Amino acid sequence: MTTTTLIRITVFAAALCISVASAATRVTVEPLGHFLVYPEDSASARVVSLNDARVGALISAQIRSIPVRVGDRVEKGDTLVQLDCRDARLAHESAVAQLALAEKNARRARSLKQSSSIAEQNYNQALTSEVEARIREKQTALQVQRCRVTAPFSGIVTARLAAEGELAAPGTPLLSLIDTEAVEASASVPEKKLAAVTTLQQLTFRFNGRDYPVKLRAIVPRIDPASANREVRLIFTDTRPLPGSSGRLRWRTETPHLAPSLLSQRDGITGIFIARDGRAVFHPLPRAVIGHPAPIDLPADTPVIVDGRFGLRDGDAIEVGE
């Protein structure tokens, strides 16, 4: 092989190397902001009533009537159960008569006191009897009032636990009543997600495909030993579902995330390719998981390589096309 031939081969090889080195991958880029999402998160939740009571009698008496049925709405003070009040009324009438006599004796004692015609002990006894008789009258009047079992709050009758003709005893439940207005949402939130729930303003309770706005009221200072979650109580700010409704507490994170379709993996590391000075730069995302939105802190105008990225390596030359 002549010297001239060697020179030609060398020149050709150098030109070929230059051509290969200068070959650039054609790609398209778009601003990162086009691919940012704000993922939603959720936790199990249910609607609980603040007033869910079993209403009972305060005196012992026979049940005369129960004018309400399951499903009826009642207002605070409405009659739920009417008891036989004859014994209570007789006791009150007797107390009224005893009070009248005690007042008469007390007036006479005061008159005699002015003329010093009564012993101090008898005078004090008369005044004491008047006070005791007045207390007795008030007590029996209260028992008459208790012959009518009334609704302690407005709500819905959910159960009748007694029947007409039965004997009601103090403390025995007669009806179940639930408040459908004074309700809250109770959510079970993992400890690591509490920060998002406590800082975000847009929280909703989703039930049957409908969102009900809620706001945080309290975080119960106790960890559930079974789930290791914390109970969060929330107030409905507008309409509310019925007590017992089971749904999800939902919120949207304020941290921008990259859509999972743009994620790539190189050497076991997940990240994205961005364009910088005619080169492809692989930007790792340590918290990224393939198939899920990844948190990202790059500016929204960062040029992200969209098409042509699959065969790229960090530092490859690129040619940006339309």
Q: What is the DSSP string of 273-319?
A: EEEETTEEEEEE-TT--TTS-EE--S-TT-EEE-TT-TT--TT-BEE
Q: Which residues contact 182 (CB under 8 A, 6 or more apart)?
A: 49, 50, 51, 153
Model pLDDT for residues 112-137, shown as the tens digit of each residue = 888 877 888 988 998 999 999 999 99
Which of 70, 51, 55 has its CA nearest to residue 146? Answer: 55
Model pLDDT for residues 46-103, shown as the tens digit of each residue = 999 999 999 999 999 999 999 999 999 999 999 999 999 999 999 999 999 999 999 9
Q: Which residues contact 14 (CB under 8 A, 6 or more apart)?
A: none
pLDDT cut 90: percent of the chain above it? 72
Location of each CATH 2.40.420 domain in the chain: 24-38+257-320
Phi, psi dihedral angles at 149 (to 5 degrees):
-80, 120
Right CATH number for 24-38+257-320 from 2.40.160, 3.40.50, 1.25.40, 2.40.420?
Answer: 2.40.420
Q: Which residues contact 309 (CB under 8 A, 6 or more apart)?
A: 27, 264, 273, 280
Which of 187, 188, 127, 152 has its CA nearest to residue 54? Answer: 152
* Confidence (pTM): 0.67
The whole-angstrom separation of Cα 207 and Cα 204 is 10
Model pLDDT for residues 154-194, shown as the tens digit of each residue = 999 999 999 999 999 998 899 999 999 999 999 999 988 88
- The burial of 177, by beta-carbon neighbours within 10 Å (0-12 exposed, 13-18 middle, 19 or more buried), is given as buried
Location of each CATH 2.40.30.170 domain in the chain: 40-51+179-252
Homologous superfamily of domain range 85-146:
Helix hairpin bin (1.10.287.470)
How many residues are there in the chain?
322
Residue 178, helix vs strand vs coil = strand
Q: What is the pLDDT of residue 52?
A: 95
Model pLDDT for residues 2-26, shown as the tens digit of each residue = 554 444 544 444 444 444 444 789 9
146's tokens: 């208790």
Model pLDDT for residues 233-247, shown as the tens digit of each residue = 999 999 999 999 999
287 or 10: whose pLDDT is higher? Answer: 287
Average pLDDT over residues 310-316: 91
Start-to-end CA span in the chain (Å): 49
Right CATH number for 40-51+179-252 from 2.40.30.170, 3.30.830.10, 3.40.309.10, 3.40.50.720?
Answer: 2.40.30.170
Find the largest Cα–Cα distance for the chain.
Answer: 160
Location of each CATH 1.10.287.470 domain in the chain: 85-146
